[in-house]
Amino acid sequence: MVFDNKFGMFIHWGFYAQTGIQEQVYARFDWKREDYEPLKDTFNPVDYDPEQWVKMAKAAGMQYICFTTKHHDGFCMWDTKYTDYNIMNTPYHKDVLKMLADACAKYDMKLGLYYSNPDWHHPLAYNPGSTHQWKSVDKEHYNVAEYRTFMKNQMVELLTGYGKIYTLFWDIPPFVQDDSSLNDLARKLQPGIFINDRGFDKGDFSTPEREYKAQEMTRFTRMTEACNSLGQQSWGYREQEDFYSLRHIKTAIDKYMAMGASYLLNVGPDGRGVVTEAYADRLKAVGDWYNKVKIGLEGTDGDDYDYCDEHNAFIATKKDGKTYLHYYDGLMSSAVALKNFPSVPKSVKLLNTGALLSAKAERLPEFFDIDTGRSEITYLHISGIPVDELNEPIVLEIEW
């Protein structure tokens, strides 16, 4: 497989979805083990329809899904033989990962797997040097070597039983990343797999999360996958979620993908296995915008030409002889003026609407010499942008 940046769907789902609170409700609200773990005995997501999930992702322009096989609580969402704390020992009694893998294969959707290093159910999993260890079973009698053997056994299951796997997303890095054997095993089982940097070595790609800010909007020099959730309070299903504004999410996608990163946008299905209307509607709105501008995001290179817009922040990308200007924070006015430009364009298209825009090389009265009072510099003046109608990142396609 060859990497180029893509838009993907992150899915946080487990029996915690039944609470409608948060995927780490066990720790965040300090539930007792005897109250939390029996939730598996009521987990029966009878409305789970993985084909619907995949179709929803494809409609939003997404090319891959990353699914939480095991979160910090240690509950496994596949038919594993190494712990009985898994989906097969619930009223549902079906391998939901296998069902999702089959749906992905049917609709040509790449599949990535998330796996948590912390495990609040395994008796030997405590790691005193790492984070997110709050609910570990035993903080005295842990065994790193035996727990890693358990992890390797589960990796064999995950990477041999569910078809081609696109990415492996470890979560919560251990204190010391000094064991490449887990990633070596993953690559042996899945040649070409991409592995993130939260495992036991540095892996292949970096994973900025939530509100990470890249320095000076510079292009990423390493394979990168940024991620955020539709909701501010939770990655898993939250009944009374505080949703990010659509503008905020679209801006993040445009910014990071224009810098060369992939972007995972998370949804949290509920306890019945449904991506509820509140999540689905927001995903659709993001997808409606993304499908119009994605040509300027996917598989592009950075455009280093110094176009110089003195009023608006933007990132320039290029592909197939065209330049794409990403005004991820919107525009100050209904036009942009570029001080530097290689030539008068053949055409300028506003990808948000598909409309062709006026583009002229001309002097503008706003820009004048303070000593002479004359407008002496010729700018590329791109005008007619319906800025008041577009509360979203604006992308211009320029054919020179």
Quick one: pLDDT at residue 2? 56
pLDDT level of residue 4 (50, 70, 90 thresholds): confident
Q: What's the pLDDT tens digit per position in 29-80?
A: 999 999 999 999 999 999 999 999 999 999 999 999 999 999 999 999 999 9
Q: Check whether 176 has a pLDDT greater than 90.
A: no
pLDDT level of residue 225 (50, 70, 90 thresholds): very high
Quick one: pLDDT at residue 177? 84
Q: What's the pLDDT tens digit per position in 82-126?
A: 999 999 999 999 999 999 999 999 999 999 999 999 999 999 999
Q: What's the pLDDT tens digit per position in 355-371?
A: 999 999 999 999 988 88
Give the percent of the chain with pLDDT over 70. Answer: 98
Quick one: pLDDT at residue 215? 57
Alpha-carbon distance of 216 to 227, in angstroms, equals 19
pLDDT level of residue 212 (50, 70, 90 thresholds): low
Alpha-carbon distance of 267 to 283, in angstroms, equals 8
In 3D space, the residue among 199, 36, 57 whose CA is nearest the CA of residue 115 turns out to be 199
Quick one: pLDDT at residue 216? 59
Using CA atoms, how far residue 246 sits from 101, 184, 229, 231, 292, in Å, is 29, 40, 12, 11, 15
Q: Check whether 146 has a pLDDT greater than 70.
A: yes
Quick one: pLDDT at residue 369? 85
Q: All domains of the chain, ordered by start, with CATH? A: 7-296 (3.20.20.80), 301-399 (2.60.40.1180)
The arithmetic mean of pLDDT across residues 322-333, rounded, is: 97
pLDDT level of residue 213 (50, 70, 90 thresholds): low
Q: Which residue is listed with tokens 């065994």?
A: 143
The number of CA neighbours under 13 Å toward the Cβ of 119 is 24
Q: What's the pLDDT tens digit per position in 10-33?
A: 999 999 999 999 999 999 999 999
Q: Are strands 315-319 and 322-327 parallel, antiparallel or unpaired?
A: antiparallel
Q: Check whether 1 has a pLDDT greater than 90.
A: no
**What mean pLDDT value characterizes the chain?**
96
Contact criterion met (CB below 8 Å) for 205 and 260: no
Cβ atoms < 10 Å from Cβ of 143: 14
Contact criterion met (CB below 8 Å) for 299 and 4: yes
Q: Check whether 214 has a pLDDT greater than 60.
A: no
Tokens representing 101 are 């893998």
